[in-house]
Structure 1
Amino acid sequence: MKSPGTYFHAEWNRGTLQRMNVKEILAQLKTLGNEVRRKHNAKAGAPDNQFGVKLGDIRTLAKKTKADQQLALELWDTGNVDAQLLATQLIKPASLTADEVDKLTRSTTCAQVADWLNSYVVAEHPEKEALRVKWQKPKEKDRWAARAGWHFTASRVNKGAEDLDCSKLLDRIEKEMLKADPVVQWTMNNTLGAIGIHDAELRPRAIAIGEKIGLYRDWPVSKGCTPPFVPVWVEAMVARQKK
């Protein structure tokens, strides 16, 4: 008799996966687990509740799984990293209330899940700007909500939003970034870099703040890549724009 895993891979290759429940999907994710990916995830801060499924395999499974909104939310509630990543591909953003999106954001398990949730769910939600304002307030204590707030603030700066007070954003970054949680520091730094790249008037100050704080100064990068250290990053991007 063929094992469930053998059956799954045969069905996977034929692209004929049928509607499964949470238990069955978790079993399928387990068969796709990869030790190298699991170690990579753990090094990046993912909890032990994961199988280490490659991102490409999760996207493929999402395309072949007949799912509904309730199933997606049940997958999210397992707290399993791979299940949450899959859920971001299955959730229908417009079917969620702003409070439900807020709850999902605050129950994120790791940065990769946060990035997929922001990209595939929050970014497509009709109330994303109201959520951005809520999450980006100085008194926000939840690190995943704060990370999302700064993520979408950086996105708005990159798109040239003229209604944002970038000078005040720099005030906050200068005051808060060094003491912020590392997962929040990443998107605060993205905002700092975005201001430096797109606002010529504030560029010297953005670079000076990046130099003073020194975040990611020694970040390792592959040859030809630009590090996230703001003084270097901004200079490289501005030079590229001039070409």
Structure 2
Amino acid sequence: MAETTVAQTTKTGTAVAEVLAELAALEDPKARAVNEKHGDDHGVNLGKLRALAKRLKTQQDLARELWATGDTAARLVALLICRPKAFERDELDAMVRQARIPKVQDWLVNYVVKKSQHAEALRVGWFADPDPVVASAGWALTSERVVKKPDGLDLAGLLDIIEAQMKDAPDRLQWAMNNCLAQIGIEHPGHRARAIAIGERLEVLKDYPTPPNCTSPFAPIWITELVRRQDGK
């Protein structure tokens, strides 16, 4: 009898072991070396990982089981095959506290939490959390609101916090706060001059190595360049 593939077993529910076995077969030392430079502990090419998730399609129960393994590649698959609106608020809160790997946190926030009906409540709860990794998720959601739903946000107050705390914040939280600073400057002309001035004074990410043809994450450069593009100049 021919070996059953992961894709063929999705109708009856794929065993976690099968997915883990396929991920193990996709392990590439070169990919792992690249990922580890960014703090990610897996060696699966993301294109191949996405292809696996596409074959699995949406399976909420399997997603929960894959997340529970704690394996980074398995968790990334889980985030691609889950139903974002099926998670309860407490479940998402627990997941973000477990998501210590940058890519896992990034996908969790962007692919799942942002689509959840609990996103705003979680944003408020995470924003000032004492765990800087959790707080960074709150700031990521805040940046989303700065761009898409700024009504009700105290933008001047956010700039106050950034000005006081970003310089000495841990790396991931600092990055999230810097992103929020840039988005305020880009999207809200009335706060642009102050956002640029804060960036220039704090010099966060000023010397960040930026590849050719990419925009520096240094807020004054980032803001100026994106506004230039928006204005078509």
TM-score by length of 2: 0.91
CA contact (8 A) 1:17 1:64 kept: no
| Superposition misfits of 4+ residues, deviation over 6 angstroms | none
Answering whether residue 148 of structure 2 is matched by residue 163 of structure 1, we say no
CA contact (8 A) 2:58 2:83 kept: no
Q: Deviation at 1:210?
A: 0.9
Deviations 1:25-60 (A, max 9, x none): 11110001111211111111124xx3x111111111
Distance 1:130 1:77 in 2: 24
Answering whether residue 95 of structure 2 is matched by residue 104 of structure 1, we say yes
Distance 2:64 2:179 in 1: 29
Within a 5 Å distance, the mapping from 1:5-154 to structure 2 comes to 11=5, 16=8, 18=10, 19-47=13-41, 50=42, 52-65=43-56, 68-137=59-128, 140-154=129-143
Q: Secondary structure at the match of 2:189?
A: coil
Deviations 1:196-217 (A, max 9, x none): 1122221111111111221111
Deviations 1:66-93 (A, max 9, x none): 6632321121122211011001012212
Selected match of 2:208 from 208, 213, 219: 219
CA contact (8 A) 1:62 1:89 kept: yes
Q: Deviation at 1:20?
A: 2.4
Q: Deviation at 1:226?
A: 0.7
Q: Which runs of 5+ in 1 are unaligned?
A: none
TM-score by length of 1: 0.88
Q: Count how many residue pairs are aligned between Structure 1 and Structure 2.
A: 230
Q: Which runs of 5+ in 2 are unaligned?
A: none
Answering whether residue 190 of structure 2 is matched by residue 201 of structure 1, we say yes
CA contact (8 A) 1:173 1:188 kept: yes
Which amino acid in structure 2 is aligned with residue 29 of structure 1?
A: L
* Residues 27 and 242 of structure 1: CA distance in aligned 2, closer, same or farther (over 3 Å): same
Distance 2:62 2:159 in 1: 42
